Amino acid sequence: MKKYMIIGAMLITGITFAQGEPKHEVVGDIVKSTYYHENGQISQEGFYKNGKVHGQWTSFDKNGKKTAIANYSEGIKTGKWIFWTDKNLSEVDYSDSRVASVKNWKEDAVVNRN
C-alpha cells in the first residue's frame, strides 16, 4: 500500500516538475491545465476547481503512453486510480483520500493504454 501512496505522491509532484511551458484554459468554473515533457509530449493534464485539483487527471510518459489516471473531488483523492507499467496494471480505489482497496494485474491482463 505504501508503494501506491508513493506513486500517488509522484503523480502530484510531477505536476510541479513537468518540463515545458504549462497551458491553462478556463472552462466554465474550472481550469484545464496541461503540462509538458521537455520533448513537447504531454506529461499531465487535468483540472483545478477553486485552486484544488479536481476531476480526472491523466499522466503520460515521454512517448505519450498513459502511466496513470487519477480522480479528485476538490483536492480529495476519490474513486478509481489506474497505474500502468510495461508489465503491470494497478487499480487503487480511494475513499476520502484513503486507500480503500488495491488490485493488481500482470502483463497478460494489462489493457491497451494508447
Q: Average pLDDT of 40-60?
A: 96
Provide the residue ranges of all domains of the chain, joining segments of one domain with +.
2-109
Q: Average pLDDT of 34-52?
A: 96
Whole-number pLDDT of residue 16: 46
Does the domain spanning 2-109 belong to CATH 2.20.110? yes
pLDDT band with cut points at 50, 70 and 90 for residue 86: confident
What's the pTM value of the predicted model, to 2 decimals?
A: 0.74
Q: Average pLDDT of 28-56?
A: 95
Whole-number pLDDT of residue 18: 46
Give the integer Cα–Cα distance in Å for 89 and 104.
6
pLDDT band with cut points at 50, 70 and 90 for residue 38: very high
Whole-number pLDDT of residue 96: 85
